[in-house]
Amino acid sequence: MYYIFGGNGFVGRYLANELLNRNESVTVCDIHEVLDSQINEKADYVHVDIRDKRQIENLSFASCDTVINLAANQYHNRVPQNRHDYFFDTNTTGTQNILEVMYERECLSYIMFTTDMTYGKPQYLPVDINHPQNPFGPYGQSKKVCEDICREFRKKGINITIFRPRMIIGPGRFGILVKLFKLIDLGLPVPTIGSGKNHYQMISVFDCVSAIICALEKDIPNKEYNLGSESPPNITILLEKVIQYAGSSSSVIHTPGGFVKLILALFDKIGLTIMYPEQFMIADEEYILDISQTKKDLDWQPKYSDDDMLIDAYRMYSETKRRDGKI
């Protein structure tokens, strides 16, 4: 049995269906009340709040089962003022609770998604899995603590693969991209933070799922792995490709990175958040994850390029806008 925490969410939906297509038994565990309509009805569904250990104890973990934790509070929803508690309550407490119950049941196979935000500002490039972890804000900090918890349970005998993905893109998630796409639709200038010569790597949801499948096939290595695209273009080229695809009259304009980040930080401080610090602090930085270890150990290869991902996201945005009249 595969237990997927956060299985009703973005990556979880695609993973659940992929495992079901392979005739595996899947239990989706999520805080949402109803199983997402996009998930094959062959999946079992349990409503679980991972902040409450007693609810996890109601699950029937067995020694032969595998647990995949994709559950997290992120920046895709509106974040309350008390960001520390918002992220740590679910991300860190939830991870601790799941692993404690697994250990008690002698269930020893676990896959965890954290984030590239645990690294903070790149000290060298490309950023490999041994890069120092100095996260800027509470989301990255909470995920770093999750990793620390995982390492403690590795010592107790649980096999744990940790994935650190870049920004995950795919059908059904727009997040901060909505602001970009609205500018393109209106033919307005599209600003970059900084010169636009730096690279902003992403990762497809489908490549995330394939990495999980590869880790399962390799018996869940006790290791951390980066997830990102291969050879991403610089931000200006990437944006220009989307503008061209959209047939928009928008143009890419460059702004002084330091000044813009200062303004964004001031707006965030007074409660008029446009972007969160963990989103804009490295926006003008050259930032490429080293995925060579992931490819080598797991026999994994990302299939989707950054321009493919962003154009697909824009196409889905446009289709949703036409269907619903708004986003």
User: Cα–chain-centroid distance for residue 188?
Assistant: 29
Q: Is 67 left (phi over 0), alpha (psi -120 to 50) or beta?
A: beta
In angstroms, the CA 38 to CA 296 distance is: 33
- For 130-179, the pLDDT digits (tens) are 999 999 899 999 999 999 999 999 999 999 999 999 999 988 777 778 88
Q: What amino acid is encoded at 112 in this protein?
A: M
Note whether 247 and 187 are within 8 A (CB): no
State both tokens at 187.
Answer: 């033919």
- For 255-307, the pLDDT digits (tens) are 999 999 999 999 988 888 888 888 888 999 999 999 999 999 999 999 999 99
Helix (H, G, I), strand (E, B) or coil at 127: strand
Note whether 198 and 285 are within 8 A (CB): yes
Please tell me what DSSP assigns to residue 137: S
Upstream peptide bond of 232 is cis (omega within 30 degrees of 0):
no
Please tell me what DSSP assigns to residue 222: S
Classified by CATH at the fold level, domain 2-172+202-229 comes out as Rossmann fold (3.40.50)
Number of helices (H), then strands (E), in the chain: 12, 11
CA proximity to 130, closest of 318, 293, 324: 293
Q: How many CB atoms lie within 10 A of CB 216?
A: 19
Note whether 245 and 314 are within 8 A (CB): yes
**Predicted confidence (pLDDT) at residue 185 exceeds the cutoff of 70:** yes
Please tell me what DSSP assigns to residue 88: I
- For 2-50, the pLDDT digits (tens) are 999 999 999 999 999 999 999 999 999 999 888 888 898 899 999 999 9
